[in-house]
Amino acid sequence: PALLGIVALVLAAAFVFRGRVAWSFVATAVGTVAAVATLFTSLYPRVMVSNPNFANSLTIDGASSSHYALAVMTVVALVFTPMVLLYQGWTYYVFRRRVGGQPLSSPPDASGAPPEVEPAA
């Protein structure tokens, strides 16, 4: 993955100089994914490496949850995910007309300075 990332970033630079921004974006995305894949494959099976003692590093087996915890989280996700999606749909439906409207016009003084106030006589 590291070599793929380096090649992708070199290609991204070449695409930028040729003015092909879409291909440059794709190449940088591939380079980013390759960098993350390189990091994860170099750490496997460790999740976090211990500095004082390499043997005390956190492994995938040590970081994983128990079967019961995963079962409970699955049930919770199956119950609450549709509720959250329904709530988001309902709020979109309720506010669909309130959020819309005419675009705001620019203020008379576009510099952002507050208007001067005439002193009272």
Please report, for the chain, the start and end positions of each structural domain, with discontinuous segments joined by +. 1-61, 65-98
Distance CA 36, CA 28 (A): 12
pLDDT of residue 121: 61
List the pLDDT tens digit at each of the 121 positions of the chain.
899 999 999 999 999 999 999 999 999 999 999 999 999 999 899 988 888 988 889 999 888 999 999 999 999 999 999 999 999 999 999 887 766 566 666 655 556 666 666 776 6
Here the contacts of 52-57 (C-beta below 8 Å, separation 24 or greater) are none
> What pTM was estimated for this model as a whole?
0.54
d(CA 109, CA 8): 48
CA distance readout (Å), 72 to 38, 65, 69: 33, 11, 5
Q: What is the pLDDT of residue 109?
A: 59
